[in-house]
Amino acid sequence: MILATPSLLLSYQLPTLEYSPSPDRFDQSWETPLSTLLGLGRSAGADFIEFFLERVNYISSLAEDDTLTSISPRLSVGAGVRVFRGKRDGYVSTNDVSFAGLKSSLEKALDILGLQLPSSHAYIPEINLGLLRDYTKLRHKETWLTHCSSMAEMEEVLLSANDALNKKATHVQSRRAAYFRDWQEVLVAASDGTFARDIRLTQSVGYSLLCADGNHRSSINQRVGNTGQPDFLRKWNYADNAEEVAASAGHMLYADYVESGNYPIIMANQFGGVIFHEACGHLLETTQLERQTTPFAQRKGEKIAHESLTAWDEGLSDQAFGTIDMDDEGMPSQRTLLIENGVLKNFLSDRAGSLRTGQPRTGSGRRQSFAYPAASRMRNTYIAPGDFSLDDLLSSVDRGIYCKKMGGGSVGATGQFNFAVDEAYWIDHGQLTKPLKGATLVGEAQDIMNKISMCSNDLGLAAGFCGSVSGSIYVTVGQPHLKVDSITVGGR
Torsion of CA 10, 15, 20, 23, to 10 degrees: 130
* pLDDT tens digit sequence for 395-418: 999 999 999 999 877 788 778 888
115-124, 326-335, 451-460: range with lowest mean pLDDT = 115-124
Residues in the chain: 492
Q: Is the dihedral of CA 95, 98, 99, 104 positive or negative?
A: negative
* pLDDT tens digit sequence for 90-120: 999 999 999 999 999 999 999 999 999 887 7
Whether the pLDDT of residue 6 is over 60: the answer is: no
May I ask the CATH architecture of the domain 142-185+199-256? 2-Layer Sandwich (3.30)
Instruction: State the pLDDT at residue 7.
Output: 56
Whether the pLDDT of residue 385 is over 70: the answer is: yes
* pLDDT tens digit sequence for 266-282: 999 999 999 999 889 99
Q: pTM above the 0.85 mark?
A: yes
* pLDDT tens digit sequence for 36-76: 999 999 999 999 999 999 999 999 999 999 999 999 999 99
The closest alpha carbon to 331, from 361, 354, 352, belongs to 361
Band of residue 213 on the pLDDT scale cut at 50, 70, 90? very high
CB 21 within 8 A of CB 28: no
Instruction: State the pLDDT at residue 4.
Output: 41
CA 258 – CA 120 distance, rounded (Å): 74
Distances (CA, A) of 296 to 301, 317, 342, 466: 10, 27, 13, 21
Strands 380-383, 471-479: pairing kind: parallel
Residue 302 burial (10 A CB sphere; 0-12, 13-18, 19+) = exposed
Q: Is the dihedral of CA 24, 26, 28, 30 positive or negative?
A: positive
- Non-local (6+) Cβ contacts of 289 within 8 A are 297, 347, 353, 356, 357, 359
Q: Where are the domains of the chain?
A: 11-58+71-137, 142-185+199-256, 261-490
Assign 3-state DSSP to the chain and report helix, strand, coil percentages, each to 5: 25, 40, 35
Alpha helices in 206-268 (DSSP H): 238-253
Whether the pLDDT of residue 121 is over 90: the answer is: no
Instruction: State the pLDDT at residue 16.
Output: 67
Strands 399-411, 471-479: pairing kind: unpaired
* pLDDT tens digit sequence for 290-330: 999 899 999 999 999 999 999 999 999 999 999 999 999 99
Instruction: State the pLDDT at residue 264.
Output: 97
The closest alpha carbon to 367, from 42, 78, 49, belongs to 78
